[in-house]
Amino acid sequence: MEIYFELINDAEGIRKVYDALIGEEFLGFDTETTELDPYEGNIRLVQLSNGRSTFVVDLKPFAEKGDLRTAPELALLREILNAPKPIKIAHNAKFDAKWVRHHLGVDVNGLFDTLLASQLIAAGDQDRRHNLAEVANFFLGIEVDKTEQVSDWSAPELSTAQIQYAAKDAVIMIGLREKIVERLRQDELIRVAKLEFDSVAPLAAMELNGFYLDAGRWREQLEKVKKEQTRIAAELQQMLSAGVAQASLFGVAEINLDSQQQVMDALVNLGVPVPASTRGWQLEPLALEYPVIAKLLEYRGVAKSISSFGENILEFIKPQTGRLHSDFRQIGAPTGRFSSSKPNIQQIPHEEAYRRCFRAPDGRKLVIADYSQIELRILAEFSGDENFIEAFKSGADFHTITAAQVFGVAPENVSSEQRSFAKRLNFGVVYGIGASRFALMTGLSQKQAEDTMRRYFSTYRGLDAWLRDAARRVVNEKTARTASGRLLKFRFDDQDRSAVGAAQRNAKNFPIQGTSADILKRALCLLHKAIDGTSARLVNIVHDEIILECDAAEAEESCRKLEKAMCDAAEEYVKKVPVKVDAHVADEWTK
């Protein structure tokens, strides 16, 4: 399609853009950049369109005069981008928001992200693709040529084809939003869409801020783990050698410890009743009875630490900042949970030896807060079970109370083993486990597991009813929702019993884990506003945990703001059950 646009490259043109667009309700918005990383390139173009008038602002002439963040000629452009109105419609808005924040010095407020909206509408359909070409084709039935996307945006003079391409992406946004809004309303996704759109600015800021990793400490830890792996491998080889039919010339069998088949054969020969699969959770119940299994699990844990969290993570430290700048996917799972990569700093091991490597630079502090048992509190809220709710209201240890009720003993007489069983059951219920899985997790017999679960659900009858209803509803409606209205559509064969069972388990878990994700995102939105203008910076999130970095002098105040934002966010969704946030100030990322 033919696009009519104006190329803007001076202060007079910026005034024209402002006068023409500031009163609009919606604007198509896009940027073109010389690199994919804001720390490694420049922002070249900013495109804005109301569908009738389209402007392509070339920032190169302004950048040649000085810093774009303070250039007086760009003040009106920064104002348009920073203002809550007009709503800026963008595809993958986080990308553009990062470049604008870093190079122009302002947050892009009032966002409508067609990528996030498309993901919400897909409702868990893994076959759908969400790049702009696919989304435009799906909703508008048009073909978008992305050939110029990889062209040279640093050239002194851009070609007409490049500028046409840039303008077209902004124009498309207007019609695309209209079609998408129809579907959002139809699928009752307006509330969750707003939540996702509001989360873009905090997420963009967090990725730009980065998380400081002490490389020296990390290498020290890695050396310790390598030595530990060598020791454990030797011990495991010794223990498994008796289960290998043919020993080596030296009398000790050599097997590949990373070969599941070789390890399994040796275990069988040793008389260990290994299950068909040697996944960790299936082996754990055997670890108490068979020391070789305990040693195997120990070896696997160390091996995974080295492969996932070894020297390679240091390659991601950006020279310009000395920090890790992980790439977060805002809807990293159908539940709405974030995922991260390059590197995955959400999966850093909980051990203090690893976490202490992430620290505050000199003169700064970390403020760390996480929700206490938030998924169980959400489950209590949804189920309305009076005993479940009262257990949280009492303020006592929830797992101890559950153990006391299930095993029929006074809370003060609950053993550590009984509490452990109750804890595993409490969290297992969130994921829809049955008696067979609980037996494997705990080492109980099938009958003991069934009896324990029967006592559990007789204690929490409202919870039992809610879980049964969730399982029944997914068979009839094939949908589930979170508190914000986030939708998951299930696709399974009604005649396939295993598929139906998997859907029923997911239908129990999705509203709980998804609402937890809703709450965290709402907390980020509230926090982003609360710390604006202070030294506090968001540096990481891990499902139910938020980490800030701030000047030491502002640490206590930042801690209060973080705790308040998290509590206020949770209380928008969880009203009958008290919410608890554990927050503290530290020098390192430790409990």
The 8-class DSSP code of residue 347 comes to S
Q: Which two tokens stand for residue 561?
A: 């703001």
Determine the Cα–Cα distance for residues 346 and 308; give it in Å rounded to an integer: 12
CATH number for domain 6-187, candidates 3.40.50.2000, 3.30.70.1150, 3.30.420.10, 3.40.50.1370: 3.30.420.10
What is the residue-averaged pLDDT of the chain? 92
∠ Cα 408 470 280 (to 5°) = 65
The 8-class DSSP code of residue 359 comes to B
Beta bridge partner(s), residue 339: 329
Determine the Cα–Cα distance for residues 69 and 100; give it in Å rounded to an integer: 9
What is residue 277's predicted lDDT score, i.e. its pLDDT? Answer: 66
pLDDT band at 385 (very low <50, low <70, confident <90, very high): very high
What is residue 279's predicted lDDT score, i.e. its pLDDT? Answer: 64
Q: What φ, ψ does residue 47 adopt, rounded to 5°? A: -110, 135
Residue owning tokens 């804001």? 38
Count of other CB atoms within 10 angstroms of residue 576? 13
- What CATH number was assigned to the domain covering residues 215-311? 1.20.1060.10
Domain extent listing, the chain: 6-187, 215-311, 324-374+517-586, 375-514
498-548 per-position pLDDT tens digit = 999 999 999 999 999 999 999 999 999 999 999 999 999 999 999 999 999
CA nearest neighbour of 27 among 51, 5, 6: 51
160-208 per-position pLDDT tens digit = 999 999 999 999 999 999 999 999 999 999 999 999 999 999 999 999 9
326-364 per-position pLDDT tens digit = 999 999 999 999 999 999 999 898 889 999 999 999 999
> Among 71-80, 139-148, 162-171, 245-254, which is the least confidently predicted range?
245-254
What is residue 427's predicted lDDT score, i.e. its pLDDT? Answer: 87
Question: What topology does CATH give the domain 324-374+517-586?
Answer: Alpha-Beta Plaits (3.30.70)
Span 549-577, mean pLDDT?
98
CA nearest neighbour of 523 among 457, 574, 477: 574
Determine the Cα–Cα distance for residues 107 and 99; give it in Å rounded to an integer: 10
75-122 per-position pLDDT tens digit = 999 999 999 999 999 999 999 999 999 999 999 999 999 999 999 999
Q: What superfamily would CATH give domain 375-514?
A: 5' to 3' exonuclease, C-terminal subdomain (1.10.150.20)
pLDDT band at 151 (very low <50, low <70, confident <90, very high): confident
What is residue 288's predicted lDDT score, i.e. its pLDDT? Answer: 76
406-417 per-position pLDDT tens digit = 888 999 999 998
What is residue 144's predicted lDDT score, i.e. its pLDDT? Answer: 86
Q: Is the peptide bond before 72 cis (omega within 30 degrees of 0)?
A: no
